[in-house]
Structure 1
């Protein structure tokens, strides 16, 4: 249980760092930064608020994950005296914020891509149509939270499959923990449809948005010199800084969000096929998710000169 106590410290540290850095970023963006305006300013504020909410839920939900052979369990190690369903709801909302974060990063990349290649379409992100880019990540997050409830609610078979493992590793009785279970194969070796639906939906939602990030990022990098000629000298410098900030935003989710999802989601499928026994405390990956929002905000303020000028003045 010592290791689980450390995750509590990490989650609270992540929230504290996220609250301070993101609040500072919001303050500078709204009241002091002048060269960034319109849609992109709204996106910066929106993303900073989302980061605070993501890390703020983590100390409450205390999400942890364990991979055992052809299964995974997503459960809470929190000590709050709340009904199991309430904590399950908080766990699903936290996971929804995780997907919302990835989807919104893809929107930011797409918007910057349009600013380079199709300014007319980029302008459509403003005004009343801003509801679309604000609403889309919320829909993605809510959909993922719903999929968790639909496809990974625990049942007798999944609990029996995981019970001895969870007790041996963590000293916890599985039925006493708010949890979601995914056991990919039944006792006869057949694929469980619910688990297949959860895995496919999770991998698809992450992969599609990450492909958008990579495609837009690569296209902007390859064509940057040519496209920057459309802008004035000061705007060229600012657009280049925006791109470098996006690269930092790309490396951040790759490290903190996307790479950590791969072993968690794919191991239940692969380990029985290759006949490898697995007992991994993959919940440690969740402990570093809370470090992404402050990393992103600090990187943005360091890269974009406008923020550095305001901070120094």
Structure 2
């Protein structure tokens, strides 16, 4: 017989997989969002919002997994979902059980949004007029759609899989033997298909399984229907499309084929095995936690599939790389020339070259307005040690230990052109912004009466 606590090594694996998943999901997801932001999604239409939303939701799902670290153990006619960690210092068992249930919310919401992707691509080929349901205020419906399945899964899990005395007695020895833990002190959600005393079906737990099975099969069914229909009829429907649109549709279909294969292996099959195994009442003792650890790998896999299949991502990445190299070479030339020719004026030239580098990227104008002052600050406000004695005397701190920026226009050596340049440029930026506000306000005050006379009553009120 294995030694007591022999499944504790699986806990290490259950915590390692989510950590790998969260780093890869955030890394690849951030790359997808960056490429989308830089122009890869220009030809995607409303589909870009689904892609961005799914990427962000996948990263959140991976983060929640790392916070909760859920584990599963199947034993004969039951299973238990539990955690050994106490996130945010929470020690109350009921609150920890709510956190476990919140994990299922993000799981269900993620696969609901994935099914929405399939539905969009299906309508994009066979019912283009229905794509209007992904525009404007219709987006609220899809938010409610994903939230509905997430809440139904989470609430069903919380209320139907509540720990009770019968289950505690059934699992007490098993949990003590396998994990060296008292089940009474463990936050957990449970399923016991049959009452061990009389063999009767425990309908409360079965209704929870029915709820989970309904949600998973419904969403998976949408994906299978859309995917199979596109496989059977897509070639015929896109004959009249332009070559560029045909290429996009085929790429997205290829991506969807991979996207339905990956969740089948990573998201759906493990769930079916875990929730259906207790109904066979087999004499098994399985640490099923690593199956849940695979869930967090899916967002990273989805991002990788999208970047691999859809050519716009590769084209955008290639263009960004080429632009970055050109801008970097320009920056180096400007830095070398100015540094040796006019040392005192080098920093303003560095700043101008950084702005040129920023302009080479297809960011939105708003983002450029936000980033330019940050570049200004990073270029001009290099740390200075002029106030180290003052800081030490009044705050009893060594200035070297403080993260800081300093504005010191004058020191013992005279005028510090770097800081003066920052002050002048910063004041100029604020003056321009204030002038725009003041000008618009004065013009509105001067012309508003004439303009209002040309408007309707409702517009005048606004």
TM-score normalised to structure 2 length: 0.65
Structure 2 runs not aligned, ≥5 long? 1-7, 320-462
Do the aligned partners of 2:69 and 2:85 also contact (CA within 8 Å) in 1? yes
Matched, 1:67 2:74: yes
1:168 to 177, 196, 202: 177
**Residues 57 and 90 in structure 1, CA contact (< 8 A), matched pair in contact too:** no
What is the CA-CA distance between 1:79 and the residue it aligns to?
5.0
Provide the C-alpha distance between the structure 2 equivalents of 1:22 and 1:182, rounded to a whole number of angstroms.
Answer: 34
Contact 1:35 1:306 in 2 (8 A): no
Pick aligned residue for 1:258 from 249, 256, 268:
268
Asked whether 1:284 is paired with 2:290, we answer: yes
CA deviations 1:100-129 (Å, max 9, x no partner) are: 111211111111111111100122221110
Summarize deviations over 1:53-90 as a string: whole Å, max 9, x none: 11001111110111111111011132544222232122
Cα distance in 2 between the residues matched to 1:123 and 1:36? 16
Relative to structure 1, the CA distance from residue 146 to residue 79 in structure 2 (aligned partners, 3 Å threshold; closer, same or farther) is closer
Describe the shift of the 1:7–1:113 C-alpha distance in structure 2 as closer, same or farther (beyond 3 A).
same
1:260-306: per-residue Cα shift (whole Å, max 9, x none)?
Answer: 011101011112xxxx3011111110111111100110110010000
Give the Å deviation of 1:143.
1.2
Q: SS of the residue aligned with 1:65?
A: strand
Hey, what does 1:155 align to over in structure 2? 164
Matched, 1:99 2:105: no
> Which residue pairs with 2:127 in the alignment?
118
Matched, 1:7 2:14: yes
1:31 paired residue number = 38
Over 6 Å off, 4+ runs:
none
- Report if the CA contact (8 A) 2:10-2:290 is conserved: no
Tell me, yes or no, if the aligned pair for 1:75 and 1:178 is still in contact at 8 Å. Answer: yes
Q: Which runs of 5+ in 1 are unaligned?
A: none
Does 1:309 find its partner at 2:319? Answer: no
- Greater Cα shift, 296-305 or 222-231: 222-231
Q: Aligned pair in 2 of structure 1 residues 12, 228: CA closer, same or farther (>3 Å)?
A: same
Q: In structure 1, how many angstroms separate the alpha carbons of the residues matched to 2:243 and 2:208?
A: 49
Match of 1:54 among 56, 61, 74: 61
Deviation at 1:251, TM superposition (A): 0.9
CA drift at 1:10 = 1.7
- State how far apart, in whole Å, the 2-side matches of 1:137 and 1:72 are: 27
For residue 73 of structure 2, give the secondary structure of its aligned residue in structure 1. strand
The reply to whether residue 249 of structure 1 matches residue 247 of structure 2 is no
Q: Distance in 2 between matches of 1:104 and 1:34?
A: 18
Aligned residue number for residue 28 of structure 2: 21
Residues 206-243 of structure 1 show CA distances to partners (whole Å, capped at 9, x for unaligned) of 01111111111011011111111232110110111111
2: CA distance, partners of 1:36 / 1:222 = 25
Give the paired residue count. Answer: 309
Choose the corresponding residue for 1:231, options 206, 231, 241: 241
Match of 1:191 in 2: 201
- CA separation of 1:233 and 1:11: change in aligned 2, threshold 3 A: same
Match in the other structure for 1:82: 90
Q: Deviations over 1:247-270 (max 9, x none)?
A: 111011101100101110101111
Q: CA separation in 2, counterparts of 1:34 and 1:72?
A: 43
Shift of 1:171: 1.1
Distance 1:43 1:5 in 2: 35
Which of 227, 232, 238 is matched with 1:222 structurally?
A: 232
Secondary structure, in 3 states, of the residue corresponding to 1:73? strand
| Other structure's SS at 1:143 match | helix
Q: Separation in 1 of the partners of 2:212 and 2:84?
A: 22
SS of match in other structure, 1:124: helix
Structure index of larger Rg: 2
Q: Which has the higher contact order (CA 8 A, sep 6+)?
A: 1
Q: Residue 117 of structure 2 aligns with which residue?
A: 108
TM-score (norm 1): 0.95
Residue by residue, what CA displacement relative to the aligned partner does 1:27-66 show, whole Å, maximum 9, x if unpaired?
A: 2112321443432000001000110111001111110111
